[in-house]
């Protein structure tokens, strides 16, 4: 296995630096299986305050045994170390860029754009499959789910969907996104998923254990580990309403994550400093709450709530 110019021998684990133009490299852990097979790339920490995936990959980097593997795994626990160490919500502090919205990147752009360029340039060519681990950010309450693509080529979408079915989440959500780390990979022909678990700037061992089980299930599904997982019981969300704030204001959610809601039900209110109603969010259809912001103060255009139906 060769990654970023480094040779990793069969049965070997090696830390490899992923170069970023005019910036510090990112630290990857590469595990080369004893036997040849597919390569799974798993990333975490695209957003600095989403911790479950970061902790999961730190543990897996130490505990996975490449001698038992058929194929390879590349782990990137801190995709955005700048945001992680600064405790920055969503963005890279140095340039204010949301890394997940910076794809395709630019070699000579801002730091976030250069990081996106480097990730695309190195990870996509190495991957037979890519999984990007997220959580609700420090201001979000979220129920575990997986986003799977619908905007790639038919065969790429199908491979991703079959992999999503082995994960231990209640909801798999159809996604039309095109410019995130995982969704741009799909546009480039790499089957990929975005897995969400946890939120509110916290992590717990049960959440990490569940996330670890999901990564291992993907490895089994791809034949990297023996004994592939059976499909889990999931609900497929076929339509989702992502509601954003109409203005800066005070947000008061009236529902909770995973709560069933009815068409016309009030899901939350946005008010001004003086208590004037700016925005009342009502459900457009019967569905279930996937996530919502818990922040009292929100900017115009910020995500307030997402709900969907099967």
- % of the chain residues with pLDDT over 70: 100
pTM above 0.85, yes or no: yes
Q: What is the pLDDT of residues 185-238, one digit of tens each?
A: 999 999 999 999 999 999 999 999 999 999 999 999 999 999 887 899 999 999
What domains does the chain contain, in order, with CATH numbers? 2-235 (3.40.630.10), 238-309 (2.40.50.100)
Q: pLDDT tens digits for 273-300?
A: 999 999 999 999 999 999 999 999 999 9
The model's pLDDT over 62-77, given as tens digits with 9 standing for 90+, comes to 999 999 999 999 999 9
**Which pLDDT does position 229 carry in this prediction?**
78
Distance CA 254, CA 30 (A): 45
């Amino acid at each position: 296995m060769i990654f970023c110019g480094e040779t990793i021998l069969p049965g070997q684990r090696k830390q490899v630096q992923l170069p970023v133009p005019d910036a510090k490299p990112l630290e990857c852990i590469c595990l080369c299986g004893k036997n040849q097979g597919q390569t799974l790339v798993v990333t975490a920490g695209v957003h600095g305050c989403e911790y479950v995936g970061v902790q999961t990959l730190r543990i897996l980097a130490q505990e996975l045994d490449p001698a038992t593997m058929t194929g390879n795994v590349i782990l990137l626990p801190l995709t955005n170390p700048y945001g992680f160490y600064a405790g920055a919500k969503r963005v890279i502090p140095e340039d204010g860029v949301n890394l997940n919205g910076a794809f395709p990147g630019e070699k000579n752009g801002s730091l976030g754009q250069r990081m996106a360029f480097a990730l695309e340039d190195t990870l996509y060519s190495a991957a037979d499959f890519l999984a990007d681990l997220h959580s609700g950010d420090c201001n979000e309450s979220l129920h575990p789910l997986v986003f799977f693509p619908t905007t790639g080529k038919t065969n790429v979408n199908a491979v991703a969907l079959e992999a999503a079915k082995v994960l231990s989440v209640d909801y798999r959500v159809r996604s039309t996104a095109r410019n995130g780390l995982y969704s741009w990979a799909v546009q480039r022909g790499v089957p990929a998923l975005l897995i969400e678990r946890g939120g509110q700037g916290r992590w717990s061992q049960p959440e990490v254990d569940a996330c670890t089980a999901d990564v291992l299930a993907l490895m089994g599904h791809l034949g990297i580990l023996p004994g592939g997982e059976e499909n889990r019981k999931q609900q497929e969300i076929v339509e989702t309403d992502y509601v954003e704030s109409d203005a800066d204001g005070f947000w008061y959610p009236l529902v909770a994550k995973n709560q069933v809601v009815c068409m016309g039900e009030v899901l939350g209110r946005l008010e001004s400093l003086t208590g004037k109603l700016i925005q009342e969010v009502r459900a457009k259809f019967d569905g279930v709450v996937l996530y919502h912001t818990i922040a009292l103060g929100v900017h115009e255009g910020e995500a307030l709530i997402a709900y969907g139906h099967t």
